Amino acid sequence: MDIVCPRVRPGVVENKEPEYYRVYLVTREQLHSCSISQSDTPLLNCDKPDRDVKFTFKFQEFSPNLWGLEFFKGREYYITSTSTSSLQGLDNTDGGVCRATSMKLVLRVGQSSSNPLPLPKEPPTRFPPQHPEAPDNELPIKDNDVTNNADITHSEGDIDTEGRASSTEGGSIGSEVGLFVGVACSIVLLLLVIVVLLMVVWRYHRRHATPDRDVQQSLSLNTLATPKRDSYGGK
């Protein structure tokens, strides 16, 4: 799923100032109160009116990327912005368009009204959520433990990507497996380099040791082929 901040197209909208937003993945309480913390990292910065800026969600329970977002079935995830749509109010942390125009987005992962899913259990390797129990079928979500910020600028087929990410405490099984695989690959590569170096040294030593043996054999053959002279004048 993509969230896109479109660029300003000349001639389409006249006499209207560009709008600026910072979009956040927030908790349920933050969504209802329309307030965020200064320490929260935005998913998307809509601050380039001359470009198309896009953030792409990849819905996966385990991300191989250490800073990748993870989404679990049966949970709800909340997105909003507290900016005021002006450049001066870009960093506003309370109210903004969340309260003025109800700019809110709820992502329900793997849910269906005809086939509700049971409450998922928190994985043992995840940082425990800090939210009270949600009423009815609404499920709490954990804090912004992992967020991505990817700005994709494209103009008629030209794409430039900038990635920024931050993470808080807690890891995931996917990140631990990725770290283990990376360490194992590094060890294997190191062993291969050592083996190659040993083979090069051995061949170098063998190549330089061969002429000495050839010289010794040549001297031995010359000695055997030289006739002995008679000490009494050769008679």
Q: What pLDDT, in 10s, does the model give residues 153-196?
A: 333 333 333 333 333 344 455 667 778 888 888 999 999 999 99
The span from the CA of 134 to the CA of 208, in Å, is: 79
Q: Is the pTM of the predicted complex or chain greater than 0.85?
A: no
pLDDT at 35 over 60: yes
The span from the CA of 185 to the CA of 203, in Å, is 27
pLDDT at 227: 55
The 3-class SS string of 49-75 reads CCCCEEEECCCCCCCCCCCCCCCCCCC
Q: What six digits make up the tokens of 119? A: 């409450």
Band of residue 212 on the pLDDT scale cut at 50, 70, 90: low
**What mean pLDDT is predicted for residues 135-154?**
41
Residue 34 — very low, low, confident or very high, per pLDDT cuts 50/70/90? very high
More confident residue, 62 or 34: 34
Q: Quick one: pLDDT band at residue 32, thresholds 50, 70, 90?
A: very high
Residue 69 pLDDT grade (very low, low, confident, very high; cuts 50, 70, 90): confident
For 170: left if phi > 0, alpha if psi spans -120 to 50, otherwise beta; the answer is left
As a whole number of angstroms, the distance between CA 182 and CA 129 comes to 29
Domain ranges of the chain: 2-170, 172-213
Q: How far is CA 153 from the centre of its chain?
A: 19
Predicted pLDDT of residue 153: 39
Q: Where does the pLDDT of residue 225 fall: very low under 50, low under 70, confident under 90, or very high at 90 and above?
A: low
Q: Is 117 within 8 Å of 74 (Cβ atoms)?
A: yes
Q: Does domain 2-170 have CATH number 2.60.40.420?
A: yes
Rounded to an integer, the average pLDDT of 77-91 is 90
Count of other CB atoms within 10 angstroms of residue 19:
17
Return the bridge partners of 77, or none: 107
pLDDT for residue 93 is more than 80: yes
Residue 110 vs residues 13, 32, 61, 107, 113: alpha-carbon distances, Å: 38, 23, 11, 10, 10
The residue type at 101? T
Give mean pLDDT, residues 108-130. 54
Instruction: Please report which confidence band the pLDDT of residue 143 belongs to, taking 50, 70 and 90 as the band edges.
Output: very low
- Bridge-based pairing of strands 53-56 and 2-5 is antiparallel
* pLDDT attached to residue 94: 92
